[in-house]
């Protein structure tokens, strides 16, 4: 089997090649932002999951590379539009696409990326292609549903923990789960194993997003690659904020609500004040415990799969790596 590092290199080299090919197309103003987005790098988790899942059942991972590229292009498309909606200035320690180019360029190039992702999928002529496309199409719709819920929550202070978890399941977890199921189907896995891998991906994705919420407040920007405290400044209804509102005492809750309601404020002061309230209410540990709950559920699902341990170990190792992001 391939190592994680080998799969990362394979997909990174392929994406670099595809990005270069896109730059040869016209109009360059449409494809330049796409290439810029793809060249930002990252760990390529989703395409690596596609190849890893395929490799669990087949030595021929070449047949899964187009789908892996398609999923990475789709993921980056969602980031282009998300960054506009979130008014984010930094992504992976570089200016976001709408800052580097313009909002209109990011919207249109993002649209092109969404369609381009399907073209990559269609390069595969496997008998499982209809099923693969059905999984991917359903996932694409669910990601949009999750983003809509995220926007809806901006106008509410009564978002429940369960509502939030459903939102991040749709917005984040389903694409990780889709990556695993698509790779498994292309590798020839049984429907039962493909479903189990999907469930594994859902729980891993929930843990991953909650860890992301933690890092947005308690991380190191140089390592994390995004502005620290961005969720706080935007009053995002994260797991941290929802639980802080629930756990705050009679003195802490008015202070927290005051920061949420302020229209003008010093960004640094707000981040420091809200972070202090999170510490006072024990939110960091509450969130870390929830991360561990979802991660342990994912590992349990993996253990139940009727596959040899040597086949499952690379996925177990990658999952552990994903949740080791502490800064």
Measured between alpha carbons, how far is 28 from 41 in angstroms, rounded to an integer? 21
- The DSSP result for 216-273, as a single string, is HHHS-HHHH-S-TTHHHHTT---HHHHHHHHH--TTHHHHHHHHHH-SS--HHHHHHH
- Domain for residue 307, yes or no? yes
- Domain for residue 77, yes or no? yes
Measured between alpha carbons, how far is 106 from 104 in angstroms, rounded to an integer? 5
Q: Which residues contact 324 (CB under 8 A, 6 or more apart)?
A: none
- Domain for residue 327, yes or no? no
- Domain for residue 46, yes or no? yes
- Domain for residue 244, yes or no? yes
Token pair 């859902």: residue: 202
Checking phi first, is residue 2 left (phi over 0); if not, alpha (psi -120 to 50) or beta?
Answer: beta
Name the residue range of residue 216's domain.
Answer: 4-322
Rounded to two decimals, the pTM is 0.92
Instruction: Look up the CATH number of the domain holding residue 254.
Output: 1.10.600.10
- Domain for residue 129, yes or no? yes
- Domain for residue 75, yes or no? yes
The answer to whether the peptide bond before residue 247 is cis (omega within 30 degrees of 0) is no
- Collapsing DSSP to helix, strand or coil, 301 comes out as helix
Number of domains in the chain: 1
pLDDT in tens, the chain (327 residues): 899 999 999 999 999 999 999 999 999 999 999 999 998 877 899 999 999 999 999 999 999 999 999 999 999 999 999 889 878 888 877 889 999 999 999 999 999 999 999 999 999 988 999 999 999 999 999 999 999 999 999 889 999 999 999 999 999 999 999 999 999 999 999 999 999 999 999 999 999 999 999 999 997 655 555 568 889 998 999 999 999 999 999 999 999 999 999 999 999 999 999 999 999 999 999 999 999 999 999 999 999 999 999 999 999 999 998 888 543
């Amino acid at each position: 089997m391939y190592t994680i590092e080998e799969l990362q290199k394979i997909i990174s080299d392929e994406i670099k090649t595809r990005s270069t090919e896109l730059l040869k197309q016209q109009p360059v103003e449409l494809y330049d932002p796409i290439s810029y987005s793809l060249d930002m790098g990252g760990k390529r988790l989703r395409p690596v999951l596609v190849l890893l899942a395929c490799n669990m059942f087949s030595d021929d991972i070449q047949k899964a590379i187009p789908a892996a590229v398609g999923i990475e292009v789709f993921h980056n498309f969602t980031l282009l539009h998300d960054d506009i909606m979130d008014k984010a200035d930094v992504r992976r320690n570089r200016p976001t696409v709408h800052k580097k180019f313009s909002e209109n360029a990011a919207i249109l190039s993002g649209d092109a990326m969404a369609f381009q992702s399907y073209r990559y999928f269609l390069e595969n002529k496997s008998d499982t292609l209809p099923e693969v496309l059905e999984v991917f199409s359903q996932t694409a719709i669910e990601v949009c549903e999750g983003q809509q819920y995220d926007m809806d929550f901006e106008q509410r202070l009564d978002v429940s923990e369960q509502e939030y978890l459903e939102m991040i399941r749709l917005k984040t977890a389903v694409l990780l789960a889709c990556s695993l199921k698509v790779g498994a189907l292309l590798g020839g896995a049984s429907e039962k194993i493909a479903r189990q891998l999907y469930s594994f991906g859902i729980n891993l994705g929930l843990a991953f997003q909650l860890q992301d919420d933690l890092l947005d407040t308690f991380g190191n920007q140089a390592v994390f690659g995004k502005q620290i405290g961005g969720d706080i400044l935007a009053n995002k209804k994260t797991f941290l904020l929802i639980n802080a509102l629930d756990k705050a005492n009679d003195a802490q809750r008015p202070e927290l609500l005051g920061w949420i309601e302020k229209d003008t404020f010093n960004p640094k002061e707000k981040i420091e004040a809200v972070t202090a309230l999170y510490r006072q209410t024990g939110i960091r540990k509450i969130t870390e415990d929830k991360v561990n709950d979802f991660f342990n559920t994912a590992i349990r699902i993996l253990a139940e799969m009727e596959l040899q341990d040597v086949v499952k170990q690379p996925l177990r190792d990658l999952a552990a790596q994903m949740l080791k992001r502490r800064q």
